[in-house]
Amino acid sequence: MRFCIYGAGAIGGYVAVELASAGHDVCVIARGAHLRAIRERGLTLKIEGREKVARVRASNDPSEFGHQDFVICALKAHQAYASAPDFAPLLGPATAVLTAMGAVVLFLAALGLYGILSYTAGRQTREIGIRLALGAQPRHVLMPVLARTIIVVLAASALGTVLSIPVTRLLAKLLSGEADITAQLFSVAALAVACLTASLAPIRRALGVDPATALRQE
């Protein structure tokens, strides 16, 4: 696969080294002293005492590399918007454009949702203990929690998708001219999985606790 990393800072450099190490054809868009260093010494990744060095093609001119299978934008938000028209020489009919910062934001959003919903569901341990002590079946305890989570996920997903439509159209005009909702669907699915997992994990733990123990919890 052909990958172009637009911006080889900390995140972009990490992605470039890992992709190159996996055998993919990787090129990098960089500028100034950073570009000269990459051309002279390649990209070096140091993690936990281990070091990886990747020799990748580097330039400040996207037209040198031609169409790519994937273009990964690792620029900050304000830089990405200004640089979007420069992506054009890299884009073919089937090129996918990804944002590294978007992936980080998605991860943080999923992590935040997981923490909030996990805490909220965990606070119901006492309620679960009472219901189990009164003879309720575990599935009858689990379903209301899941139902509430699903309603929240569906409402938030619908709102987020609607709000993202104008942004997608704007980016499509700046780049390929065609709007693709694949990234939106992936983001919605990832956040939905995070929400459901966050609700299930503490409830499943609570279901395994002795009712008398659960009743003693604050």
For residue 110, give the H/E element and its range.
helix 100-122
**Do residues 35 and 130 both lie within one domain?**
no
Helix axes 100-122, 182-207, angle to 10 degrees: 30
Q: Which pLDDT score, from 0 to 100, does residue 127 have?
A: 74
Helix axes 125-133, 182-207, angle to 10 degrees: 50
Q: Is 98 contained in some domain?
A: no
Q: Is 90 contained in some domain?
A: no
Residue 213 to residues 101, 151, 203, Cα–Cα distance (Å): 44, 30, 15
**Do residues 113 and 209 both lie within one domain?**
yes
Closest-CA residue to 7 (of 54, 107, 76, 56): 76
**Do residues 107 and 60 both lie within one domain?**
no
Q: Is 188 contained in some domain?
A: yes
Distance CA 195, CA 29 (A): 36
Q: Is 84 contained in some domain?
A: no
Q: Is 200 contained in some domain?
A: yes
Report if pTM > 0.85: no
Query: Which has the higher per-residue pLDDT, 101 or 151?
Result: 151
**Do residues 202 and 140 both lie within one domain?**
yes
Strand partners, 50: 47
Q: Is 31 contained in some domain?
A: yes
Reply yes or no on whether the pLDDT at 175 is more than 60: no
**Do residues 111 and 66 both lie within one domain?**
no
Q: Is 91 contained in some domain?
A: no
The answer to whether 211 and 132 have CB atoms below 8 angstroms apart is yes
**Do residues 138 and 185 both lie within one domain?**
yes
pLDDT in tens, 206-216: 666 666 666 66
Q: Which pLDDT score, from 0 to 100, does residue 26 have?
A: 92
pLDDT in tens, 2-31: 999 988 777 888 888 888 988 999 999 988
**Do residues 70 and 168 both lie within one domain?**
no
Q: Three-class SS of residue 179?
A: coil
Reply yes or no on whether the pLDDT at 177 is more than 60: no
Q: Which pLDDT score, from 0 to 100, does residue 116 have?
A: 74
CATH number (domain holding residue 26): 3.40.50.720
pLDDT in tens, 55-106: 899 998 888 899 999 888 887 666 766 777 788 889 888 888 777 766 666 6
Token pair for residue 191?
């956040």
How many structural domains does the chain have?
2
**Do residues 108 and 61 both lie within one domain?**
no
Residue 205 lies in domain: 103-216
Q: Is 82 contained in some domain?
A: no
**Do residues 67 and 136 both lie within one domain?**
no
**Do residues 110 and 212 both lie within one domain?**
yes
Mean pLDDT of the chain: 77
